[in-house]
Structure 1
Amino acid sequence: MAATAGLGLTGLGLGATSASATTGTSGAFHPASLAWHTCQADILNGAKAYDSVGPVQVSKIIQCAELQVPLDYAHPDGQKITLELTRLPHQGSGAAKGDILVNPGGPGGEGALFGASVYARNSAPMQAAYNVIGFDPRGVGFSTPKLTCDVDYSNAPRPEYGTGGRQDDATWLEKSKNYADACARKFGRGAKVDLLDHIKTIDSVHDMDTIRQALGHQKLDYYGASYGTYLGQVYATVFGQNVGRMVLDGNVTPKNVWYDAQLTQDVAFNKNMDYYFGWIAKYDSTYHLGTTQAAVRSYYYALQDKLAAHPLTYTSGGNTVAVGEDELVDNIQNAAYRRSQAVWNSYAAALSAYKAGDVATFAGTFGAPTTGGSDDNTFAVYNAVQCSDTQWPTSWNKWHADAVRVNRTNPFLTWSNVWFNAPCLFWGAKAGTPVKVGQSKNLPSNILMFQATDDAATPYAGALELHKVLRGSHLVVQDGDRTHCIVHRGDLRPGGVDSYFDAYFLNGTLPKADTVHVSQLGDPTPPAATQSGQAGTRTR
């Protein structure tokens, strides 16, 4: 998966925990009860971002707790690590209907604050009924230890992604190996905490069941988005008898764990970016980048080639940022993730600003710092999980041949995706074997899935495959939508996406049909300020 979108696709390895995985138990470990308390300042400040989303100020009610879990569930009395949990309490009188555990995906997505996001976007009846429980998975965010490998890895401009040339390949293969080696030195075998051998999906699935126990529940209610759907489907396979109500949104297919998943993404992202170029052309009177999809596409790729050869640097207030090919691709790909006025306009306006000579706005939108490093936690965890969940191809010749083939017709993301995943060629942890999702006598039959037909990150075909594997599941499809994860995206219409979500959690009501289709919301239009000639004023 690509870097800035925050969505990874990772597999699941059993490794040393295969015995407990197949029996659906977490071994002999019994967690302590959770002691909820006021959150640390960083979490409170993060929660403030969602205070204006709904009527409840989530930063005023959010609570935190720490949960110790075994590093290795095969040795429950051995070394422990700590997960950070958050709790957003229900607003109704009396006891809550339940606790919904939530996960935003990644792997590497911060789940503690995702709890605040989900709660803020829940309807008033959902806020009245349910507590929402967020958690940072092992290695992530506020959990300890926090996995970081090389904070300077993303200093801009990075080497151009290229298209498979000998020099580009050599540069990126060396960079990828150095990153994998840095991770192994800090968190591999022989380190104080051998996290790399114990950060597979199955480890987090066991953590989820430990959270269930710590909450004092016989059943786990769960909402997972993106890679969080893979956590959910594996949990339902391994701990099916412990599933209460489960919603999976933007569904990862277990079929392509995990090398082939990036190749299907390359095709889907290219399709959605072409659609976006057509949208920009439709509003040429606003953006002035071309009156046809082909013209906008040509402008974009010419700019990408220009920045690959000559990255742009910009200094303001003593801070210097750069925009090369990589930084442009990593940012603008977010337009292929979701149908959003703010996202679509901001990138189109920044491209328009560059064409008009406004370098400040362009650099403010697409630029990344040239020095000082960054928090590489999301990228580190992404690789740590996916590279050890399952064995990736070990031959660079295969990677190269597949990328060249796909890139011929789908050039937008292909080589970006290759280099984002390339540390897996050199990863310093033993790969596991994926759980066979759905192959369990305890598989629940009440799982509710949500999916957009033109989701690029988790393509629709994969959701249909998962729907078959999860026998008895129901699927809500938003036709023609390009948004990755469709719950809480503003579809409040009667019979709309969020009405199915609420009916399920509040009443246990599943759609009457096995699969129901919901019409898409309309494409955004440029905001009035931009249409009146104020494009190019946005800075990041």
Structure 2
Amino acid sequence: MAIAVAALAAAATVAAVPAAAADEATSAISWGPCSDPTLVAAGGECGYLSVPLDYDHPRGEKIQIAVGRVKHKVPDSQYQGVMLTNPGGPGGSGLYLAARGSKLPNHAGDAYDWIGFDPRGVGSSKPALSCDPNYFGYNRPNYLPVTPQLEQTWLQKSKSYADACAKNNSRALLQHMRTTDTAKDMDSIRAALGADQANYYGYSYGTYLAQVYATLFPQRVRRMVLDSTVDPRYVFYQSNLNQDLGFDRNIGVWFEWVAKYDSVYHLGTTAGAVKRVFDEQLAKLSFQPAGGVIGPDEWLDVFLQAGYYQLRWPTLGDAFAKFVNQGDWQTMKKLFENFDGVGDDNGFAVYLAVQCTDAPWPTDWNQWRADNWRTFTRAPYFTWMNAWYNAPCVYWPAKAGKPVNVDGRGVKNVLMIDETLDAPTPYEGSLEVRKRFPGAVLIAEPGGTSHAITPRGNACVDDKIAAYLTTGELPPRKPGSQADVTCAPLPQPTP
């Protein structure tokens, strides 16, 4: 399983990289028009960069990374360099993030060339991974393996997906999909753009990519913003078990919110009452899918979003109420499909290709079974969904490597942001990375449950990001393992 422009004049400009380094990296990018509407509206330009499939053999086979750029809007004397970005995943397309600079307050993003890219294997990059586009279709087995037959069905389904990945993609590409490979691609982009150093804005898994990049290329880092930070201690088997607890906690917070607005939703006046209605529907769907398509898996896939983003709470509350009070399963079907439930499996294929090979996973299913049932006792909603999402790693056709020992001592300053009830990337990960990056400062939003959404209109957070990108100055760092700054999260939404 996101500030005065005048101060820019005093900022240091970014020098060009020595020609030899750029030559070693790759060819240049030939820029042309973009097809993405967001980039077109932002005046962006797009192109491809050829990079080595295997950096140990730089003159061997090449692949192409799709890159987008929205250039700086200030005079060249106030230019602050390139801003590489990543939306997370792994497997998320990042081209559109080239337009993110305009979202920052006080024109703080105007001094940078914002660079979005589709990581290797993703989206418009070539080749793009695809294994089985029908994998997330309807009529899947119940996530909860209450019988040995269900468990075996899911294991066979997981093995079939891994086999399809081996059959339908280059084995060489599958073997070179690790975060270290993408970090090297990032450095190739930096070099091709003629930048001695790069700035970076990353979300979720993109924060782990930042950690790896900063460990491999500390001298190339200028400024970094990390939103919702991955804990490097747990990549990636244990991190998924840790996520399960956070998602179950957060859906409980959402139950409380739904109960608060019983006058709107009519689903119960207490969190316990709402939970009972939720559980009753889940049980019914296990026996009879609504409309023949919305079973327990689709139901949980939709409501997982309550643990990610508070901004989706009203949409989910409306769909829940319509389903219970009006028998409207069509709205739930639309949400399932809109939340990437059905369609191209590129994102899932890349997710596995990275997660399964960044670090070893247990190959003994008995360990998976024991760990997930143990976690299930504390997190019954999403534990087995997450287990089956990752189960193809048991059979993955490429070998896992050794994870990078993340070391941020060579990086001068990093700004981190995290909401303390973030489910996908638990807050403890931000504290761990802050410890490994002595130059990092952490902004915490106590009680917030949303994930990776900056800038999102929270002035306390957004203004500090803008000030950092404008001047490079960070708030003072506090001693010990704690946040350096706290900001109240955005208010919970009103239906």
Q: TM-score by structure 2 length? A: 0.91
Query: What does residue 336 of structure 1 align with?
Result: 307
Counterparts of 1:424 and 1:231, CA distance in 2 = 20
Structure 2 counterparts to residues 167-316 of structure 1, below 5 A = 167-189=149-171, 194-313=172-291
- Quickly say closer, same or farther: Cα 1:294–1:163, change in 2 above 3 A: farther
Is 1:473 the counterpart of 2:440? The answer is: yes
Counterparts of 2:390 and 2:337, CA distance in 1 = 20
Counterparts of 1:503 and 1:373, CA distance in 2 = 41
Counterparts of 2:467 and 2:22, CA distance in 1 = 35
Counterparts of 2:353 and 2:137, CA distance in 1 = 21
Indicate the larger mover: 226-235 or 87-96: 87-96
Indicate if the aligned counterparts of 2:302 and 2:332 stay in contact, CA closer than 8 A: no
Query: What does residue 43 of structure 2 align with?
Result: 61
Indicate if the aligned counterparts of 1:164 and 1:404 stay in contact, CA closer than 8 A: no
Indicate the larger mover: 218-227 or 328-337: 328-337
- Quickly say closer, same or farther: Cα 1:470–1:391, change in 2 above 3 A: same
Counterpart of 2:371 (choices 391, 402, 409) is: 402
State the one-letter code of the partner of 1:244: R
State the one-letter code of the partner of 2:431: L
Counterpart of 2:130 (choices 148, 154, 157) is: 148
Deviation of residue 129 (structure 1)? 1.6
Indicate the larger mover: 195-204 or 86-95: 86-95
Is 1:447 the counterpart of 2:418? The answer is: no
Task: Report the secondary structure of 1:391's partner residue.
Answer: coil
Indicate if the aligned counterparts of 1:451 and 1:486 stay in contact, CA closer than 8 A: no
Query: What does residue 28 of structure 2 align with?
Result: 33
Indicate the larger mover: 417-426 or 154-163: 154-163
Task: Report the secondary structure of 1:424's partner residue.
Answer: helix
Paired residues, what number? 470
Deviation of residue 357 (structure 1)? 2.2
Task: Report the secondary structure of 1:476's partner residue.
Answer: strand
Deviation of residue 291 (structure 1)? 1.0
Deviations 1:476-521, CA, capped at 9 Å, x for gaps: 11111111124212102xxx10111111111011012331111222
Deviations 1:74-100, CA, capped at 9 Å, x for gaps: 000000000000011222344532221
Deviation of residue 163 (structure 1)? 4.1
State the one-letter code of the partner of 2:493: P
Counterpart of 1:425 (choices 373, 394, 411) is: 394
Query: What does residue 385 of structure 1 align with?
Result: 354
Counterparts of 2:414 and 2:326, CA distance in 1 = 52
Structure 2 counterparts to residues 325-364 of structure 1, below 5 A = 325-340=296-311, 343-359=312-328, 361-364=330-333
State the one-letter code of the partner of 1:507: T
Counterparts of 2:297 and 2:359, CA distance in 1 = 27
| Runs of 5+ unmatched residues, structure 2 | 3-19, 479-483
Indicate if the aligned counterparts of 1:66 and 1:84 stay in contact, CA closer than 8 A: yes
- Quickly say closer, same or farther: Cα 1:181–1:298, change in 2 above 3 A: same
Deviation of residue 27 (structure 1)? 11
Counterparts of 1:26 and 1:264, CA distance in 2 = 41
Query: What does residue 429 of structure 2 align with?
Result: 462
Deviation of residue 302 (structure 1)? 1.6
Query: What does residue 538 of structure 1 align with?
Result: none
- Quickly say closer, same or farther: Cα 1:218–1:26, change in 2 above 3 A: closer
Indicate if the aligned counterparts of 1:188 and 1:428 stay in contact, CA closer than 8 A: no
Deviation of residue 412 (structure 1)? 1.5
Deviations 1:337-387, CA, capped at 9 Å, x for gaps: 1221xx111111111111122425433444449xx9720000000000000
Compute the RMSD of aligned alpha carbons.
Answer: 2.0
Query: What does residue 521 of structure 1 align with?
Result: 490
Counterpart of 1:507 (choices 471, 476, 485) is: 471
Counterparts of 1:450 and 1:421, CA distance in 2 = 27
Query: What does residue 323 of structure 1 align with?
Result: 294
Deviation of residue 164 (structure 1)? 4.6
Which runs of structure 1 show a deviation greater than 6 angstroms over 4 or more consecutive aligned residues?
A: 25-28
State the one-letter code of the partner of 2:45: Q
Task: Report the secondary structure of 2:241's partner residue.
Answer: helix
- Quickly say closer, same or farther: Cα 1:392–1:26, change in 2 above 3 A: farther
Counterparts of 1:364 and 1:156, CA distance in 2 = 10
State the one-letter code of the partner of 1:338: Y
Query: What does residue 4 of structure 1 align with?
Result: none
Q: TM-score by structure 1 length? A: 0.84
Indicate if the aligned counterparts of 1:109 and 1:140 stay in contact, CA closer than 8 A: yes
Task: Report the secondary structure of 1:107's partner residue.
Answer: coil
Indicate if the aligned counterparts of 2:91 and 2:350 stay in contact, CA closer than 8 A: yes
Indicate if the aligned counterparts of 1:160 and 1:168 stay in contact, CA closer than 8 A: yes
Counterparts of 1:479 and 1:373, CA distance in 2 = 35
Deviations 1:216-275, CA, capped at 9 Å, x for gaps: 011110011100000001111110011111111100010001110011111111110001
State the one-letter code of the partner of 1:114: L
Indicate if the aligned counterparts of 1:227 and 1:252 stay in contact, CA closer than 8 A: yes
State the one-letter code of the partner of 1:36: W
Deviation of residue 115 (structure 1)? 2.4
Sequence identity (%) = 43
